[in-house]
Structure 1
Amino acid sequence: MKTSTSSRVALVSGASRGIGLAIARELLEHGWRVSAGTRGPIEALAGQSSDRYHWARFDAFDPATESAWVQAASAHFGQIDAMVHNAGILSRQSVIDATSQEFDEIFEVNVKSPMRLTQCAWPHLKAVQNGKVIVVASLAGKRVRAAEGGLYSMSKAAALMLAHSLRHAGDVDGIRCTAVCPGFVATDMADGVEEGIKAQLTQPKEIATIVRMALELPASASVAEIPVSWKVEAEY
């Protein structure tokens, strides 16, 4: 029997483009109600009806916007069933060259903000049946391929451990958390890649489908991680 999602509400961060926008669209297309948190309104979703879609300002560098977003989404829809942490920033710095400021900035966005947002949403997730949290981490958080990007890998490894920690924290209340760990995805980050490779990359829509699958699983299926790559890798 197909599970109805017509009344379920998901908050999606970083939904203005790329994977986040694909996730928001995927959920809306399959009956979810979506609250998108971004720094500015999302033109691509402007035509959605207010009973299905809500937008709130969210900036990972401004903690006040986190609690305000959760409160606004709850007031708009009356409940929160899922939190999808997609917002993140990239760094190509090695751990030798990275400055203290660069470290603080990437951990603020990729780790601390998702943790704070989940803390804000936690009472709402406990109040519904089968609350869910998705952390869009990265294969970079499971292995380091080169010195460049080491700082990014550190932050995504921490995000991955955040997901595992949330999974354990939510166990008694039936809140499930899954880390989705994509490799190279065909977003604007792949603009400089040669066309032959770009055509083979994992598409944002594919990641969005995986996220929706994880969100719609019953609480009896606790999935810790879903690693995704555009090619077969020897190890993660």
Structure 2
Amino acid sequence: MRKILISGASRGIGKAIAIKLLKEGHYLSLGVRERDDLFNTPLDPKINNSDSFLVHTYDATDQNSSKKWVEKTFETFKSVDTIIHCAGIFKRTKLLFNDNEMKDIEDLWKVNVMGPWILTKHAWKYLSLSNSARIIVLVSMSGKRSKGNLCGYSMSKFALMSLCQTMRNEGWGNGIRVTAICPGWVNTDMAKEIKHYPKKDMSQAKDIASICSNLLTLPNSSIPFEISLNCQLETNI
């Protein structure tokens, strides 16, 4: 069983992944902004009161929060061999943004890029000891192409994809394998304002959870760097 850090586990894709991996018996350390968000869910720490389950406060914009979470996880599990980065934010910032939207751009950068970067940095020495560590990053199809006018969000996801490539390069010799998962629309709260496409026809969070579960069973020699999935046909990528 793996010893896994999962960010953004209180909702959406992160929550679906955490629930599936919990059922499969992995050691889970969940990083969330508000512990209360997990109450009365399958991830409620009151229900999962064991040495293989940890919930820790995590703010992707706070380096100290990241460091404390990693250290507490190592102290509890005695090792860390997997990170699944699911924390992220969505903003509709356009190329010609208003002056009052500058903070939105800064937040996109801090959460979507620097958050995974810093968390990975803090866990790197532990991952390097495993010889078969895994880093799975929920990037987005917006990290592969810019569609429409979502300039700020797409910018952050392109940068995140670049970060994934560098993590792969840096970690390869120590057995660290990186996979960037790039979905289109997924039926989560992030897509709740999408009216032109039925939620039932979108990719489902539980299916992405199954992909992550399968990745954890593959040997170092067979880990894909990138997995793209989309509920809509795109012919220009």
Closer, same or farther in 2 for the Cα pair 1:160/1:84, shift >3 Å? same
**1:129-182 deviation line (CA, Å, top 9, x unaligned):** 3001111100011111111x1110010011111111101100110100110011
Deviation at 1:197, TM superposition (A): 1.4
**TM score, norm. by length of structure 1:** 0.92
State the partner residue of 1:97: 97
Return the match for 1:107 from 109, 117, 130: 109
Deviation at 1:196, TM superposition (A): 6.7
Closer, same or farther in 2 for the Cα pair 1:138/1:196, shift >3 Å? closer
Summarize the alignment of residues 165-204 of structure 1 with structure 2, pairs less than 5 Å apart: 165-194=166-195, 197-204=198-205
State the partner residue of 1:32: 26
- The one-letter amino acid of 1:133's match is I
Q: Partners in 2 of 1:199 and 1:222 — Cα distance?
A: 29
State the partner residue of 1:126: 128
Summarize the alignment of residues 1-236 of structure 1 with structure 2, pairs less than 5 Å apart: 5=1, 8-41=2-35, 42-43=38-39, 44=41, 45-46=43-44, 47-97=47-97, 99-147=101-149, 149-194=150-195, 197-236=198-237
Deviation at 1:190, TM superposition (A): 2.8
Which stretch shifts more, 30-39 or 187-196? 187-196
Deviation at 1:53, TM superposition (A): 1.2
Secondary structure of the residue aligned to 2:50 is coil
Q: Partners in 2 of 1:121 and 1:216 — Cα distance?
A: 21
> Cα RMSD over matched residues?
1.5
Does structure 1 retain, via aligned residues, the 8 Å contact 2:90–2:190?
no
Q: Partners in 2 of 1:20 and 1:80 — Cα distance?
A: 18
Q: Partners in 2 of 1:192 and 1:113 — Cα distance?
A: 25
Secondary structure of the residue aligned to 2:198 is helix
**1:43-90 deviation line (CA, Å, top 9, x unaligned):** 221112322310000001211100000001111111101011110010
Closer, same or farther in 2 for the Cα pair 1:62/1:196, shift >3 Å? closer
Deviation at 1:191, TM superposition (A): 2.6
- The one-letter amino acid of 1:91's match is K
Secondary structure of the residue aligned to 1:220 is helix
Closer, same or farther in 2 for the Cα pair 1:222/1:101, shift >3 Å? same
The answer for unaligned runs of 5 or more in structure 2 is none
**TM score, norm. by length of structure 2:** 0.92
Which stretch shifts more, 181-190 or 63-72? 181-190
Which stretch shifts more, 226-235 or 166-175? 226-235
Q: Partners in 2 of 1:64 and 1:224 — Cα distance?
A: 29
Which stretch shifts more, 114-123 or 25-34? 25-34
Closer, same or farther in 2 for the Cα pair 1:189/1:100, shift >3 Å? closer
- The one-letter amino acid of 1:217's match is L
Q: Partners in 2 of 1:200 and 1:161 — Cα distance?
A: 30
Does structure 2 retain, via aligned residues, the 8 Å contact 1:28–1:52?
no
The answer for unaligned runs of 5 or more in structure 1 is none
Which stretch shifts more, 57-66 or 96-105? 96-105
Which stretch shifts more, 198-207 or 184-193? 184-193
Identity of aligned residues (%): 37
Aligned residues: 229
